[in-house]
Structure 1
Amino acid sequence: MKLLLAPMEGLLDCVLRDLLTRVGGVDRCVSEFIRVTGTLLPERAFLRTMPELRHGSRTLAGVPVRAQLLGSDPACMAENAARLAELGAEGVDLNFGCPAKVVNRHGGGAALLRDPAQIEAVVAAVRRAVPAGVPVSAKMRLGYDDDALAHECAQAMASGGAGELVVHARTKADGYRPPAYWERIPAIRAAVSIPVVANGEIWTVQDAQRCRALSGCDALMLGRGAVADPGLALAIRAADGVAAPAEALPWQALVPHLVQFWQMVGERVTPRHRAGRLKQWLNLLRRRYPEAQQAFDQLRTLNDCRAVTDWVNRLQTQPQDQVALQSSAPAR
């Protein structure tokens, strides 16, 4: 069984990749998309999104990270993929699934699912541009408005030279609304000869088991579910019998990761956005941890970085109810 960590623009960045892979259970990560719009990007643009390039294309826990490109021009995508390979990327992943309107308006992401021929041209150009030992993979949705071209799109990616395909089991029109249609993946698997990874709405061990049963995929990609429950990958492995049974990751074991998260965000994010990043993670953690709900409520109105730092520091040393009483005081 293989478990991948999904690319999630604005959420699952290098900081969370680092922390979630420290918890364990993840085999490979994919970076947020690097948007290609007609020029060869400077090295700093790749490093900004994927600083792991400085560390052998791995997180500090040693988990490989594959760089994801988003764009529609074959020649430009190829040129940037070649540069990524020169920088030591573990592989190049191609985004044919982003549902964002601004991306789709410019012909990128899920918009390409209406044009299998263009998909094949992009994949083939990238495959030719990078050394044979550098993997090329692709990520798609079931389609744009519907899944009428799902098989053709998957075949275009395989024919172009992709060696692995991740299928987010929803259309662009579905957005992120549940459910994910895992039962539609077997027909895509049957249409191609490359490995297929199932993705979408995997929040629990039970979701993972049901997804595997309905999709027929042994490999899964975890997104928001792993952010909401950092121990999810380990729990899936334990339930599958490939890891020793373990208790769910308790809140107190997660607290040091929250502290580290705040420190790392402080190094990368402008002050006015730092508190929002911590609240964003706590907002998802509320699905799994009652303590995260309490923490979210305590921080809801705090935006001053010094006040949040004080709160985080107290979280390590005091019971959370005492932290709540102090954090309600006016920020200094």
Structure 2
Amino acid sequence: MNHNLPIKRILLAPMEGVLDGVVRQLLTSINEVEYCVTEFVRVTQQRLPHKTFYRLCPELYYQGKTASGTPVRVQLLGQHPQLMAENASTAIALGSYGIDINAGCPAKTVVGSEGGAYLLKDPELIYQITKQVRSAVPADKPVSVKIRLGWQDKSQCIEIADAVAQGGADEITVHGRTKEDGYNADKIDWQTIGLIKQNLTIPVIANGEIFSVLAAKQCIAQSHCQAIMLGRGILAIPNLANMIRYNHPPLSWNNTVDLLLTYAQSQLDHELAKSKPFYHSARIKQWLTYLKATYPDAMYLLQQIRTLKTQSEMINALQAYKSTVTDKNALTEYYK
């Protein structure tokens, strides 16, 4: 453990469009994290069929854990308390380690349907959703809620967080920006996460703009949290959690390419494969957009595969590229 950091837990965030079951397994195989959260299960007008949960959380086939033994928490997104509760009950019955409620996603398609960060406008609704989900989930299964600091400003951040706590959540993850801030780096505000922590008795998990060991130190110092959640940062440096925990050097580019190739070779659920024939190529390209912030070679690789669509094309291209790559780890000193 990195004794310079007063940190007790590191969690793997949900990342819509990239952090699926295979990526969760790849990342938990090279990092020590306490638990993962799935991409969101969208709850609309009904109790969803089991296949929806298995598709987004294949770990349910294995007692709710990745092959590395890391627990996985199903994430629900919606705005109807009773339906959220009913679907939470289904997820738990199928083996989810717990339930995470999405009250922070800023994507236009999500807030346009009054989900995710849209809930930040209505703390009472967040309270009702949390309360009903908590009532539907056995006491030994954790319920968490992920929020941002507010919609347009931070004036209601304490009220929003208190609604989560009063609703009975076991813990809260706070992304240190408002919905309007999006992902603007200069808008990150870990200090306000600390203010929220001072006003709650449940554990607070800090999230947002943690792309390095230095950023983790700054986040912990300013938020006073002992738990952090990694999202885009761990996609940019795949072993970031163990860098933070154990002062490990960043994963070499050669080993990172191995991760991409393993992902390209993974098998999809039959139904998903039929509906999304370009699934692998789209997600690998998305992952490379994060990796290029850390690894200069990622930009070159992305340019090489940009026009590829099928899984077989992607596998062949990555194998051909790997045969030309020498091991590089020149960024070690910078990211310590």
Taking structure 1 as the reference length, what is the TM-score of the superposition?
Answer: 0.90
1:232 aligned partner? 240
- Identify the range of structure 1 (266-275 vs 147-156) with the bigger mean alpha-carbon deviation: 266-275
Higher relative contact order (CA 8 A, sep 6+): 2
Q: CA RMSD in A?
A: 1.7
CA contact (8 A) 1:40 1:80 kept: yes
2:206 aligned partner? 198
Identical aligned residues as a percent: 45
The partner residue of 2:118 within 100, 103, 111 is 111
1:330 aligned partner? none
1:281 aligned partner? 287
CA contact (8 A) 1:200 1:222 kept: yes
Helix, strand or coil: the match of 2:185?
Answer: coil
1:220 aligned partner? 228
CA contact (8 A) 1:265 1:274 kept: no
- How far apart are residue 20 of structure 1 and its match? 0.7
The partner residue of 2:324 within 316, 319, 330 is 319
The partner residue of 2:256 within 241, 254, 257 is 254
Helix, strand or coil: the match of 1:310?
Answer: helix
1:296 aligned partner? 302
Q: Report 1:1-332 matches (<5 A).
A: 1-179=8-186, 180-239=188-247, 246-264=248-266, 269=273, 270-316=276-322, 318-320=323-325
- How far apart are residue 266 of structure 1 and its match? 6.0
Using the alignment, how far apart are the partners of 1:43 and 1:296 within structure 2? 36
- Identify the range of structure 1 (40-49 vs 303-312) with the bigger mean alpha-carbon deviation: 303-312
CA contact (8 A) 2:15 2:231 kept: yes
Q: Which amino acid aligns with 1:319?
A: T
1:324 aligned partner? none
For residues 202-257 of structure 1, what are the alpha-carbon distances to aligned partners after superposition, in whole Å with 9 as ceiling and x for unaligned? Answer: 11111111000111111000001101100111100124xxxxxx332112222322
For residues 254-309 of structure 1, what are the alpha-carbon distances to aligned partners after superposition, in whole Å with 9 as ceiling and x for unaligned? Answer: 23222111011666553334322222212211111223222222222333544332
Unaligned stretches of 5+ residues in structure 1: 240-245, 322-332
- Identify the range of structure 1 (51-60 vs 299-308) with the bigger mean alpha-carbon deviation: 299-308
Using the alignment, how far apart are the partners of 1:177 and 1:57 within structure 2? 34
- How far apart are residue 115 of structure 1 and its match? 1.3
- How far apart are residue 153 of structure 1 and its match? 0.9
Helix, strand or coil: the match of 1:264?
Answer: coil
Using the alignment, how far apart are the partners of 1:57 and 1:211 within structure 2? 30
Using the alignment, how far apart are the partners of 2:258 and 2:217 within structure 1? 30
Q: Which amino acid aligns with 2:197?
A: R
2:332 aligned partner? none
Seen in structure 2, the aligned counterparts of structure 1 residues 266 and 76 have a Cα distance that, compared at 3 Å, is closer
Using the alignment, how far apart are the partners of 1:205 and 1:314 within structure 2? 33
Seen in structure 2, the aligned counterparts of structure 1 residues 72 and 308 have a Cα distance that, compared at 3 Å, is closer
Helix, strand or coil: the match of 1:66?
Answer: strand
For residues 121-175 of structure 1, what are the alpha-carbon distances to aligned partners after superposition, in whole Å with 9 as ceiling and x for unaligned? Answer: 1111011111111111110000011111110111111011001000001111111
**Number of residue pairs matched by the alignment:** 314
1:243 aligned partner? none
CA contact (8 A) 1:15 1:265 kept: no
Larger Rg: 1
Helix, strand or coil: the match of 2:32?
Answer: coil
1:327 aligned partner? none
CA contact (8 A) 2:205 2:228 kept: yes
For residues 187-208 of structure 1, what are the alpha-carbon distances to aligned partners after superposition, in whole Å with 9 as ceiling and x for unaligned? Answer: 1011110000000011111111
Using the alignment, how far apart are the partners of 1:227 and 1:60 within structure 2? 19
Q: Which amino acid aligns with 2:168?
A: G
Using the alignment, how far apart are the partners of 2:312 and 2:79 within structure 1? 43
Using the alignment, how far apart are the partners of 1:191 and 1:265 within structure 2? 46
Using the alignment, how far apart are the partners of 2:83 and 2:139 within structure 1? 19
Helix, strand or coil: the match of 1:230?
Answer: coil
